[in-house]
Amino acid sequence: MPRTRPTARLAAAFIAGMGITALTAASALAHPESEGEHNGCVVTAEPGTIPVGGEFTVEGNFGGASIFVLPGPDATPDFDATPDATTPPGTSFSVTFTATGSPGDLTIVGFIDSTECGDTDHITVTATLPNTAMSDQTGAVVAIVGVLLLGTALALRRRRSPGPAI
C-alpha cells in the first residue's frame, strides 16, 4: 500500500484551512455584526460607492419602515422630517433610489416609528464612475481561490511524479 507523502498531507491541510477561511471571511465581514446592536433590524445600502445619478438599493429585514436618505456621513433625520420612502408592513423591504445632488457621503436611515427597530448604512457618491471590476471582498475571495487551486495543482503534481529509484 503506497504511503502518502508528508508534503501532500500538508498541502491538503493547507488547502482545507484556506477553504474554511474563505467561507467564514464573508460572514465575518457582514454588515450586522460589524456595526454593533441593531435590535434585530438591519438596513443595507448597495453598492457602497456610486456615481452622481447612479442607483442604489436599500434593503431591510423588517417591514413598515420609514427610509431617509440624508447627506453627510453621520446625518440623522429631524423629528418631523418626511421620509424619502415608506414600506408596507411585512418581513422585508427593498427600495431603489437614484443619487441626485453633489458627490459626498450619504447616510441611509431605516426604522419603524415608535419602536427601537432601526438601522443605518452609508454610501459614497462620486463624481466619476466607480471601479466595479472587482470589489475588495471579491478580490480577497478570488485570491484565496487562486491559492487553493495553485496548492491543489502542486499537490497533484508531486503525487504523480515518481519517487527516487531504489
Structural domain spans, the chain: 6-28+135-160, 38-126
pLDDT in tens, the chain (166 residues): 556 567 767 777 777 776 666 655 544 444 444 444 556 789 999 998 999 889 999 999 998 999 999 998 888 898 889 999 999 988 899 999 998 878 899 999 999 888 888 899 999 998 865 556 655 566 677 778 888 888 887 777 776 666 566 6
With CA atoms as reference, report the closest residue to 67 among 48, 30, 41.
41
The pLDDT of residue 31: 46
The three-state DSSP-derived secondary structure of the chain is CCCCCHHHHHHHHHHHHHHHHHHHHHHHCCHHHHCCCCCCCCEEEECCEEECCCEEEEEECCCCCEEEEEECCCCCCCCCCCCCEECCCCCCEEEEEECCCCCEEEEEEEECCCCCCEEEEEEEEECCCCCCCCCHHHHHHHHHHHHHHHHHHHHHHHHHCCCCCC
The pLDDT of residue 43: 92
Q: What is the CATH number of domain 38-126?
A: 2.60.40.10
The pLDDT of residue 32: 43
The predicted model scores a pTM of 0.56
**How far does CA 120 lie from the centroid of its chain?**
15
The pLDDT of residue 148: 83
